[in-house]
Amino acid sequence: MNRNIEFEELGQRDYKEIWEYQEKLFQGILDQKIANRREGTSKATKNHLLFVEHPHVYTLGKSGDMSHLLINEEQLGLKNATFYKINRGGDITYHGPGQIVGYPILDLENFFSDIHKYLRLLEETIILTLEEYGIKAGRSKGETGVWLDSDTPFARKICAMGVRASRWVTMHGFAFNVNTDLGYFDNIIPCGIKGKAVTSLNVELGVKEVPVEEVKQKIKKHFSALFEAELVPPTP
């Protein structure tokens, strides 16, 4: 089992470009697994973790409802935003500046064969990161992601999640609102959940901006510990 995870910091990049890059990495792992089974070999499969920030974009999961996008194509243009239907689970969400988007592309057979556990560990990564800022976060029953005050009328989501998995290989991941312009969420019904708010780390801390690099280091620390993995530089 290969518990090394090749980490890449990609900066701000177009959503479609990184979606295609994810697909390439995802397919590379699948191809190796298929070759191992066909040829009776046991060559190690790779694991990846990508951090990226996207320009304004809305994405709709394969089971999502198009009516949860509340603006039309012309209005998208006026807001300098794009829209994609994609192949992850979940409904509609927003990505944009000030948000840390993490894409773990893992062969879970290097770790454990349990999608439910995988999602819970992703949530726990963000929950532990928020704890370092004095924020108590948790889960909302039946709703993937990380929430604050989930069992109260003041429930608000701070991190959305949606994944795709095939042959225990994952792609897509989480979107953690750090210094995000929350006004962009007004144009959708986030994750298809009505009547619940969205928040960000800087709003919860009552500050204009939280140092993003500092947050990333905390996420990486907790991700590595929870998955009992080592983040390493990417190989050519």
Active-site residue flag, 159: no
Amino acid type, 96:
G
Q: How far is CA 1 from CA 11, 43, 71, 154, 233, in A?
A: 30, 10, 46, 43, 18
Distance CA 89, CA 172 (A): 9
Query: Which residue out of 108, 191, 193, 198 is catalytically annotated?
Result: 191
**What is each CA distance from 129 to 54, 82, 185, 207, 229, in whole angstroms?**
21, 30, 23, 17, 17
User: What is the four-CA torsion angle of 34, 37, 38, 41, rounded to 10 degrees?
Assistant: 110
Q: What residues act catalytically?
A: 191
